[in-house]
Chain A
Amino acid sequence: MTAVAPDPILEGIDLVKRFGGGGLLASPTIVHAVDSVSLSIRRGETFAIVGESGCGKSTLGRLLLRLIEPTAGDIRYEGRSILSLDPKEMRQLRRELQIIFQDPFASLNPRMTVGDIIGEPIWLHGLAKGSERRERIAELLRTVGLLPAHVDRYPHEFSGGQRQRIGVARALAGEPKLIIGDEPVSALDVSIQAQIINLLEDLKERFGLTLVIIAHDLAVIRHMSDRVAVMYLGEIVEFSTTDELFDNPLHPYTQALLTAIPVPSPVNRSPKPLLQGDVPSPTAPPSGCRFHTRCPHARPICKEQHPSLETAGDGRKVACHFWREIQNAGASALSASPQSAALAKRMALYTSWRERQDQVTNPSRK
């Protein structure tokens, strides 16, 4: 949460990705997955991309690592375009740009031992050999809170949370500078989610990483990230520092997203204004502003004219014709209801005993 000098590490410039509509055998319907998206990720920050299913956030994540080729636009890593790199150069670069996937059950090869899974990038990039490599694998396992003894086991022998730790260890093996987490905790149980969130934050601190978190869970994003891009149907509709976005959401879609979150406190149970209808299909995005079919503030111009992503002061951007009026229309900011005295007291007690629990037993297993 410290102030980061604007030093871009990874940039997407006017990125476009369409699926389908290609040759004779391809599907005739074109999916507009990502449309004219530009963003700049700063070194050392945690950048979040948030949106609902089908908004293009995962596609954008894959484009940024060039795991899929963009239809148009450019991707720059440390100032130079990575689209012109040949496969060999790209492989070299992958060491520095890593990804963690949502499903820890699907993203690890079931026939490889944990040691092989983590050791592969080390071998591939020629980082270490023989006993040095084994020592490195053991070190990585300890780093992510597993035991060096786990090295000969297979993924199915581990729980979901442990598998996600294996995925994290593998991502770290190549000594990356940037890690993209594509819904890294959403398949996990609540208590395990918190463990992985803390692990990612510790690793970021320890290795000076840049994190890009792709998620639909706004509470996770508020907790982890410095800046946020909100996506809707392939476009960025709002762009802001995290605290400002949550304190004063500008785009009506962001406002609706924040209103829809169930707040874990039974104190204020008032009926909320809810967004109606479903997200339209990305094969036929609505004309004008893509959100106009669900927007409570839509006017005729919204159907006709596409709003540009305009600057809304202090590094914020919003794509809405009427964000100034809507802002004054009194859309309430999200307020976390305060903890009760009893909960606060016991939470403090829990936290201090929890710290002691870590100190008393093996300190590497958090």
Chain B
Amino acid sequence: MTDSVATATAADVIDMAAQRQSPLLQVENLSIRFDGAPLGINVVDNVSFSVAKGKTLCIVGESGCGKSVTALSLMGLLPTPPARIVGGTANFGGRDLFSLSERERADMRGNQTAMIFQEPMTSLNPAFTVGDQIIEGILRHRRISKAEAKERALEMLRRVRIPAPEKRMRAYPHEMSGGMRQRIMIAMALANEPQLLIADEPTTALDVTIQAQIISLIRRLQDESGMAMILITHDLGVVAEVADEVVVMYAGRIVEAGSVDAIFEDPQHPYTIGLMGSVPSLGRRQGRLATIRGTVPSAEMMPKGCRFMPRCPFADERCVNDAPPLAELEPGHWARCWYAPLELHRGGIV
């Protein structure tokens, strides 16, 4: 018994190591700029991360941190102009996504890569039945008959647990609730068995009981298909439930990255800590919330040193003048702060 457990663990370790060596998607030094922004101020600045097959990477951050722009760039959906990729590569299965032609990107979208958005109503066409929309997506990428595509669409509706799928095939988006529409979007996104799913705030517009249904659905489908997922969210609760790896973004830069356990149990960056303190606990009340002062700086006001400096309680002259590097504190756990770990540099009597 003991032996087999030990063997399994060893095999897992080797498996994990193999996956770490060859991730499905590897983004390196991605920088995106908006036309008209001050010189050198990128909305996404030197961002690198990777996601392995079957794993979930969560990108966390607040409005304006660059998380959605990053996702759109990976899908080839960046509105250009005003947004432009000014540097970096995204290696997906041996090819750089950013050097593909428009046509190649279109062939890939909804096929090897797929995306779901926050508000399903705006991503569905109100003039067509949901069945037609799913079938269209299948026929765009597969050489099969319409009848086969319809069968495939029905199967997808069953997989996302839509009640009475035959009837629902003929329904229009407005005839469905928000939760049902999000299920339709997921069915559509997964119809061609993508290797990578990007989900941008997929449950933010939903009620809490429906959110729980959708999260459990996404996790089950991921287990079944082994696809990789990038989930973009502002909700630390959702991150804790689904993430394997976490990237915390602030004002266009990664400020912390690591495994989900590292981020929640050993958070290093003052922004990550402040964010956790800002969320009310579900346990008994423990006094006032810890807050982060002020708001995210606009592009014009972006500090030249650490971008979190104006809001950071720990900041000093060094942070004003020099941007800290993203440093590896523990294997696989990175933070962009001169003073991490804080207890070492800021642990003295205040």
B180 at the interface (CB under 8 A from A): yes
How large, as a class, is the contact surface on chain A? 35 or more
Q: Mark A236-276, 1 if CB is under 8 A from B, else 0.
A: 00000001001000000000110111111110010110111
Task: Assess whether A189 is in contact with B267, with CB atoms less than 8 Å apart.
Answer: no
What residues on B are CB-neighbors of A92 within 8 Å? none
A149 at the interface (CB under 8 A from B): no
With A190-B275, A264-B236 in contact, is A354–B291 under 8 Å at CB? Answer: yes
What residues on A are CB-neighbors of B3 within 8 Å? none
A161 at the interface (CB under 8 A from B): yes
A328 at the interface (CB under 8 A from B): no
What residues on B are CB-neighbors of A193 within 8 Å? 278
Name B288's closest neighbour in chain A (CB-CB).
A198
The stretch of B97-105, B190-198, B206-214 in contact with A is B206-214
Task: Assess whether B208 is in contact with A218, with CB atoms less than 8 Å apart.
Answer: yes
Task: Assess whether B290 is in contact with A350, with CB atoms less than 8 Å apart.
Answer: yes
With A198-B289, A261-B208, A353-B314 in contact, is A343–B276 under 8 Å at CB? Answer: yes
In the docked arrangement, what's the CA distance between A58 and B273, Å?
33
- Which of the residues B209, B238, B291 comes within 8 Å of A191, measured between beta carbons? B291
B179 at the interface (CB under 8 A from A): yes
Task: Assess whether B265 is in contact with A219, with CB atoms less than 8 Å apart.
Answer: no
- Tally B residues with Cβ within 8 Å of A: 61
In the docked arrangement, what's the CA distance between A79 and B27, Å?
65
In the docked arrangement, what's the CA distance between A256 and B237, Å?
17
A197 at the interface (CB under 8 A from B): yes
What residues on B are CB-neighbors of A223 within 8 Å? 280-281, 285, 289
With A198-B289, A278-B179 in contact, is A340–B266 under 8 Å at CB? Answer: yes
Task: Assess whether A162 is in contact with B209, with CB atoms less than 8 Å apart.
Answer: no
In the docked arrangement, what's the CA distance between A346 and B264, Å?
12
Name B311's closest neighbour in chain A (CB-CB).
A191
What residues on A are CB-neighbors of B275 within 8 Å? 190-191
- Which of the residues A220, A265, A269, A354 comes within 8 Å of B290, measured between beta carbons? A354
- Which of the residues B267, B270, B293 comes within 8 Å of A366, measured between beta carbons? B293
Task: Assess whether B216 is in contact with A266, with CB atoms less than 8 Å apart.
Answer: no
In the docked arrangement, what's the CA distance between A366 and B213, Å?
38
Q: Mark A346-366, 1 if CB is under 8 A from B, else 0.
A: 110111111011100000011
Task: Assess whether A263 is in contact with B240, with CB atoms less than 8 Å apart.
Answer: yes
What residues on B are CB-neighbors of A52 within 8 Å? 207-210
Among A310-366, those with CB < 8 Å from B are 334-336, 340, 342-343, 345-347, 349-354, 356-358, 365-366
Task: Assess whether A336 is in contact with B264, with CB atoms less than 8 Å apart.
Answer: no
Task: Assess whether A192 is in contact with B295, with CB atoms less than 8 Å apart.
Answer: yes
| 28 A-B residue pairs with CB within 8 Å | A52-B208, A52-B210, A53-B207, A190-B62, A191-B292, A194-B278, A194-B289, A194-B290, A195-B292, A197-B289, A216-B208, A218-B282, A224-B280, A256-B209, A257-B209, A261-B212, A262-B215, A262-B238, A266-B243, A272-B212, A335-B283, A336-B282, A346-B273, A350-B270, A351-B277, A352-B350, A357-B293, A366-B293
4 extra interface residue pairs, beta carbon distance < 8 Å, beyond A194-B291, A272-B216: A190-B236, A192-B295, A262-B215, A275-B209
B interface residue numbers (CB < 8 A to A): 62-63, 177-180, 207-213, 215-216, 234-241, 243, 260-261, 264-268, 270, 273-285, 288-295, 313-314, 341-343, 346-347, 350
A interface residue numbers (CB < 8 A to B): 1, 52-53, 159-162, 189-195, 197-198, 201, 216, 218-220, 222-224, 243, 246, 256-257, 259-266, 269, 271-272, 274-276, 278-279, 334-336, 340, 342-343, 345-347, 349-354, 356-358, 365-366
